[in-house]
Amino acid sequence: MNYSVTTKEFMMLAAKEPVDVLDLRDPEFVDSFDLSEGSNVTHIPLTQLPNRLGQLDRGKTYYLFTQFGGRSKTMAQFLRNEGFQVVNVIGGTSAYKQYFAS
């Protein structure tokens, strides 16, 4: 399994099939994701994640987003160690927004 994808790779995948996104940003930074129909976004602030693992499904693959992607890379390793299937989206929501701006 590829543990990281670029924003472009993520967008191509999300256009083909529903994806499960785990948005790890703090509430004051959360805005909406414009994903394909059927995709699901779960918001759990990064600082709360270790105490809320029970809300996640080990049978799903989650695409992780933070503001700039650095903290999601670290959290991806933590979640894999806990038995979850996760993929870090390089550059986070900042790169996601920039992708649409170009």
Give the pLDDT of the chain (102 residues) as one tens digit per residue.
669 999 899 989 988 999 999 989 887 766 665 555 567 889 899 999 999 999 999 999 999 988 877 888 889 999 999 999 999 999 887 777 777 677
Tell me how far CA of residue 48 lies from CA of 5, 19, 72, in angstroms: 24, 22, 13
Question: Rounded to 5 degrees, what angle do the CA atoms 75, 3, 79 make?
Answer: 30
Query: Quick one: pLDDT at residue 70?
Result: 81
Helices then strands, counting H and E runs in the chain, come out as 3, 5
* CB-side neighbour CA atoms (13 Å) of 29: 16
Question: What is the token pair recorded at 26?
Answer: 């703090």
Q: How many CB atoms lie within 10 A of CB 24?
A: 25
**Residue 34: helix, strand or coil by DSSP?**
coil
Query: Quick one: pLDDT at residue 36?
Result: 52
Write the DSSP symbol of residue 2. -
Query: Quick one: pLDDT at residue 75?
Result: 93
Rounded Cα–Cα distance for residues 63 and 42 (Å): 10
Query: Quick one: pLDDT at residue 2?
Result: 67
